[in-house]
Structures are given as structure tokens and as C-alpha cells.
């Protein structure tokens, strides 16, 4: 695999790519948390309950938006929640990120890619539900080590400044977040 791996929103107005070398440094996971599920439901995607949301964790400098960056929109499920990026043109959920550019993390939805199999194997699962017990995690140590290694490398090299999601001078996200109320958030998964 030597060609960039292309991704796009459902209507194709926002598209970009990830280089194969970045994919090799990334971590593909399935997240079963209620918030990832709520985001999918908010955008009218199929309910990932039982399967999880397939994500490729990278550093932001590893993701290039080639077209349509003006369509980036931002959702937060609570005032202190993760940043949940989506395409304003068609409502496709795109990325998750932390709230500051100095915390270089992005999780790209694998479904955005033409062939998610090229992203490698899923090596971890997070927040797997267990009836009557707290959620469990599989592969969490490996996932955490890869995340820490990528972040440290980005800090040491200054690559954390290369992000398609933030204005580095101000530290502000490139879109004003829509923050759901508690009742709006609860309504997304009320049928559980």
C-alpha cells in the first residue's frame, strides 16, 4: 500500500486523505461508549449498539483535508465533552478530538474510507458493555502505549501545531461548537 487512503463525507463535499505511513502508526479500535453511540444516532447513522464505532486513532498532523474544510462543524454532548466533528454539508460524523491543539489526538471514523480493511486490524475495544457490571476494555494497554508514543512524538517535533481542526494562534477550534443540553443528550439513547 503506497497510495494515500482517501476519506470523504457522504456527499463528497468534504474529503481528505491519510498517508499509509500514518495508518501504520495509528490504532484501530472499536468504541462501545454511550457517547460514540449517541453521536451516530444524532446524525441518523445505524445504531452501533452491539458492534461499536470503528475508529482509527491518529495525530491531527496525519490527517489532511483536501477539500471542503469550510464544511467542518462541531458537536459536543456536554460542555466538557470530546469535540465531535462532522460535515455540515450532509451531517456525516467525521472525527473525535480533544479540546486543545496541544493534546494532539484525532479519531477518524473508519466508515469514511472506501476500504476500511486497509486501515489494519482492530487491536482494541473500549467500553464493552457487561450486564450488571462496569464496561470492560480489551487491548487498552497497547492502545494507550501507541497513543502516548504518538503524542510525545508530536510534542517533541512541534507537529502538534499542524492540525486541520484548530487555529493555532488562538487555540480555538475552527468551528463554534453546538453543545447539547442534558435532555437532548438523554433523548438520543432513551430507548435503552
Predicted confidence at residue 172, as pLDDT, reads 95
Domain residue ranges in the chain: 5-177
Q: Which residue has the cell 467542518?
A: 72
CA–CA separation, 59 and 63 (whole Å)? 7
Predicted confidence at residue 192, as pLDDT, reads 53
- Check if CATH label 2.170.150.70 holds for domain 5-177: yes
Predicted confidence at residue 188, as pLDDT, reads 87
Q: What percent of the chain has pLDDT over 70?
A: 98
Tell me the C-alpha to C-alpha distance, in Å, between residue 94 and each of 15, 137, 173. 10, 23, 15
Predicted confidence at residue 191, as pLDDT, reads 57
CA–CA separation, 153 and 91 (whole Å)? 33
Low-confidence stretches of the chain (pLDDT beneath 70): 1, 191-192
Amino acid at each position: 500500500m503506497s497510495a494515500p487512503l482517501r476519506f470523504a463525507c457522504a456527499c463528497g463535499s468534504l474529503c481528505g486523505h491519510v498517508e499509509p505511513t500514518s495508518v501504520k502508526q495509528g490504532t484501530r479500535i472499536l468504541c462501545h461508549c454511550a457517547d460514540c453511540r449517541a453521536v451516530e444516532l444524532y446524525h441518523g447513522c445505524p445504531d452501533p449498539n452491539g458492534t461499536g464505532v470503528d475508529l482509527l486513532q491518529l495525530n491531527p498532523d496525519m490527517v489532511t483535508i483536501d477539500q471542503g474544510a469550510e464544511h467542518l462543524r462541531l458537536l459536543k454532548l456536554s460542555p466538557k465533552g470530546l469535540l465531535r466533528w462532522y460535515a455540515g454539508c450532509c451531517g456525516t460524523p467525521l472525527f473525535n478530538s480533544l479540546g486543545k491543539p496541544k493534546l494532539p489526538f484525532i479519531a477518524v471514523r473508519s466508515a469514511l474510507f472506501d476500504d476500511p480493511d486497509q486501515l489494519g486490524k482492530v487491536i482494541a475495544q473500549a467500553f464493552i458493555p457487561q450486564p450488571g457490571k462496569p464496561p470492560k476494555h480489551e487491548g487498552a494497554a497497547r492502545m494507550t502505549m501507541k497513543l502516548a508514543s504518538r503524542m510525545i512524538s508530536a510534542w517533541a517535533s512541534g507537529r502538534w501545531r499542524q492540525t486541520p481542526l484548530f487555529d493555532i494562534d488562538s487555540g480555538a477550534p475552527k468551528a463554534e461548537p453546538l453543545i447539547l443540553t442534558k435532555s437532548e443528550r438523554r433523548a438520543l439513547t432513551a430507548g435503552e
